[in-house]
Amino acid sequence: MAAQRTARRTHNFTESVIREMTRVAREYDAINLAQGFPDFPAPELLKEAACDAIRADRNQYAITWGSPRLRTALVTKYREWYGMEVEGDQEITVTCGATEAMAAIMLAVIDPGDEVIILQPFYENYGPDAILCGASPVFMPLVPPEYRLDTDRLASLVTNRTRAIVVNTPNNPTGRVLDRSELEAIAALCIEHDLLAITDEIYEHIYYEGEHIPIATLDGMRDRTITVSGLSKTFGITGWRIGTIIAPPDLTGAIRKVHDFLTVGAPAPLQDACAAGLESLGPEYYSGMVEEYRARREVLYSALVDAGFRCEKPQGAYYILADFSGLSDEPDDVFSRQMARDPGVLPVPGSSFFSPPELGRSLVRFAFCKRMETLEKAAERLRDFSDRRG
């Protein structure tokens, strides 16, 4: 038999289903409510700042771990929003999106043989990131419809090989915003067992209920938390690839080395533009953004319920995870492709947020980070679809 031409580390995970679905949407000319990216314009101020930076010939590498201006803006952001003091020279790394951030972090702090606890349903990158490190992802289920954290169950998963817990709030795909008591329970476990919290807070400014609490701000957690965020969701610029990491200096040293050899750095002119956005967009930008998302959430939610899906309104982020078992007995991937053809509205198959994937077979995820007219058109197609099915 011919020798394997690919490395074993690539054999235990699949390509991203979310990104595959964007290709399927194009194939069927369906409305893409699969991959979570906005179809509306970015703030004018950001676009102008990016053009200005390019015209000013900011064309060369920024400092590997992020331009000083962007890191200064991030220091101000963490202080003003969360009362969190961050040392810009030693604790911040700017990456090519939160996706690179997560991968660089895991490669920097996780050893082969370690276990990484991941709350499930999960955003699909975390498992492959752990596997790339030679570690084992251990999945901790959150149970619908509330998706609340069962602290005892979480504690029962900790072994002497556990190195970190991955937290994602506001959550993709459930929309859960973890409350203080849940975060305190995770913090207590991290402290008791000397674990790291790796927290993906990319939706930190998009929530409709509760409050966003960075787990790093809880007592005893600052030194054992690695906080991931970025500007993709906050400014609606997912293609710019600007992610951010806040971590204690010793961890930052390791993360920066990995980041440097992976990508050298994030796009220099776009870092400038993101700094301008952080410096100049005031509270009305953030509250306006949330109100727009709240209105979009209503349109998609009622269309899904009217069409026969079972779902809850998310507390945060911009996705609805919906049960379609009242509509079809097909598995989620078959059902999603059928939806691409008719009614021409494409979600992400739910199985991509679960391990084993069977747990998500009757679920699909719809994104509502779209113009109102896109969502209304999708709503019309969904209602018409359910009428035709009688």
Residues that bind ligand GLN (CB under 6 A): 18-19, 35-36, 99, 172
Distance CA 389, CA 327 (A): 9
Cβ atoms of 256 and 228 within 8 Å: the answer is no
Nearer to ligand GLN, 309 or 353 (CB): 353
Indicate the residue whose CB is closest to ligand GLN: 36
Residue 100 token pair: 């690179």
Q: Residue 83 CB, nearest distance to ligand GLN (Å)?
A: 28
Q: Residue 124 CB, nearest distance to ligand GLN (Å)?
A: 8
Nearer to ligand GLN, 99 or 362 (CB): 99
Cβ neighbours around 295 below 10 Å, total:
12
Q: Residue 369 CB, nearest distance to ligand GLN (Å)?
A: 9
Nearer to ligand GLN, 16 or 151 (CB): 16
Residue 356 token pair: 């084993």
Residue 48 token pair: 């102008």
Q: Residue 172 CB, nearest distance to ligand GLN (Å)?
A: 5
Nearer to ligand GLN, 36 or 350 (CB): 36
Supply the angle between the helices 372-389 and 283-306 in degrees, to the nearest 10.
Answer: 10
Cβ atoms of 311 and 33 within 8 Å: the answer is no
Q: Residue 347 CB, nearest distance to ligand GLN (Å)?
A: 11
Q: Residue 284 CB, nearest distance to ligand GLN (Å)?
A: 26
Distance CA 39, CA 21 (A): 16
Nearer to ligand GLN, 58 or 205 (CB): 205
* 312: CB partners within 8 A, 6+ apart: 144, 145, 175, 320
**Helix spans in 194-236 (H):** none
